C-alpha cells in the first residue's frame, strides 16, 4: 500500500532553517510528483511547491522562492523540504503529498504531517 512517512516535529528559533523528510513506499517513487503543502493553526492548506523525483526538477510558489529547497534521494525513496530564514508565521504542519504529474496536481496520498514550531 502507498505510504508517505514524514520526519518528526521540530522546534526552531527565528532565522534558523528546518529540513523535513518524506519517505515514500508502496509505489514507483519516480512515477509521481511530490508536493509540499503547509497548514498553519486554524488555517486552510497552503501550497509550497513540487519536486519531480525522476529528474529532480522543482517548481516553487513565488511566496517561498529563495527560501525553500526541495531535493530527493532516489536510493532512499525520500524527498526533503528545507525552509530557511524561519519566522514565527512559518509555524505550521508541513505535509508532503503525491500527485500524478505537474499538470494534474490532485493529491491522492498525504504524509501524516510534520509540525514545525518557530519560537524564540
Partner 1 sequence: DIVMTQSPDSLAVSLGERATINCKSSQSILYSSSNRNYLAWYQQKPGQPPKLLIYWASTRQSGVPDRFSGSGSGTDFTLTISSLQAEDVATYYCQQYYGDITFGQGTRLETK
Binding interface with partner 1 (CB under 8 A): 35, 44-47, 61-62, 95, 97, 103-108, 110-113
Closest approach of partner 1 to the CB of residue 19, in Å: 20
Cell of 22: 518524506
Closest approach of partner 1 to the CB of residue 110, in Å: 4
Between 14 and 108, CB nearer to partner 1: 108
Between 75 and 106, CB nearer to partner 1: 106
Between 43 and 120, CB nearer to partner 1: 43
Between 5 and 16, CB nearer to partner 1: 5
Three-state secondary structure readout of the chain: CCEEEECCCEEECCCCCEEEEEEEECCCHHHCEEEEEEECCCCCEEEEEEECCCCCCEEECHHHCCCEEEEEECCCCEEEEEECCCCHHHCEEEEEEEECECCECCCCEECCCEEEEECC
Closest approach of partner 1 to the CB of residue 43, in Å: 8
Query: Rounded distance, CA 41 to CA 61, Å?
Result: 20
Closest approach of partner 1 to the CB of residue 83, in Å: 17
Amino acid at each position: 500500500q502507498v505510504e508517505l512517512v514524514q520526519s518528526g516535529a521540530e522546534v526552531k528559533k527565528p532565522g534558523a532553517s528546518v529540513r523535513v523528510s518524506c519517505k515514500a513506499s508502496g509505489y514507483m517513487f519516480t512515477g509521481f510528483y511530490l508536493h509540499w503543502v503547509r497548514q498553519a493553526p486554524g488555517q486552510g492548506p497552503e501550497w509550497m511547491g513540487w519536486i519531480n523525483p525522476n529528474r529532480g526538477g522543482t517548481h516553487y510558489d513565488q511566496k517561498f522562492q529563495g527560501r525553500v529547497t526541495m531535493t530527493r534521494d532516489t536510493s532512499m525513496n525520500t524527498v526533503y523540504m528545507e525552509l530557511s530564514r524561519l519566522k514565527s508565521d512559518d509555524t505550521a504542519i508541513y505535509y508532503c503529498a503525491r500527485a500524478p504529474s505537474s499538470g494534474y496536481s490532485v493529491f491522492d496520498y498525504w504524509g501524516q504531517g510534520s509540525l514545525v514550531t518557530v519560537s524564540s
